Amino acid sequence: MPDIQMRILIADDHALFRQGVAALLAGTDPRFQICAEARNGKEAVEKTLALQPDIVLMDVSMPVMGGFDATRNILQSSPASRIIFLTTYNSPQLVAEARKAGAKGYVAKGDVSDVLIQAIDAVSRNQTYFEASPEN
């Protein structure tokens, strides 16, 4: 039985980072399909609601609308959405804010190549993944 494909939306204001994450995922696991990219939080909300990806990879700091506001907007309209924050900032305060906004995971950008797939796998199994250790 083939693995189930996971549709992923990447929201980050830096094109090079979006492309790098897309290449990392596509080159690592055939289950991952990048269904869209968003340059800001407003686009992330619009594309998530239109496309209903399985996982949204969301930056914290973006123009037009930040990641926390975008997450709250997405979850208000689509409560089953699974969002993982990918951010440069690795602080307990931001992790707590991500949890409060409703995110299922939080990965520091410096750790993406090491733990992103673990985070996606955990979140796809309805677990959470914060600070490099999965939780049930």
Domain residue spans in the chain?
Answer: 6-135
> Considering the entire predicted model, what is its pTM?
0.92
When comparing pLDDT for 109 and 10, which is higher? Answer: 10
pLDDT digits (tens, 9 = 90+) for 33-47: 999 999 999 999 999
User: Rounded to whole angstroms, what are the CA distances from 67 to 1, 2, 30, 40?
Assistant: 36, 33, 27, 8
pLDDT digits (tens, 9 = 90+) for 53-103: 999 999 999 999 999 999 999 999 999 999 999 988 778 889 999 999 999
- Which residue in this structure is represented by tokens 């973006």? 62
How is domain 6-135 classified at the architecture level of CATH?
Answer: 3-Layer(aba) Sandwich (3.40)
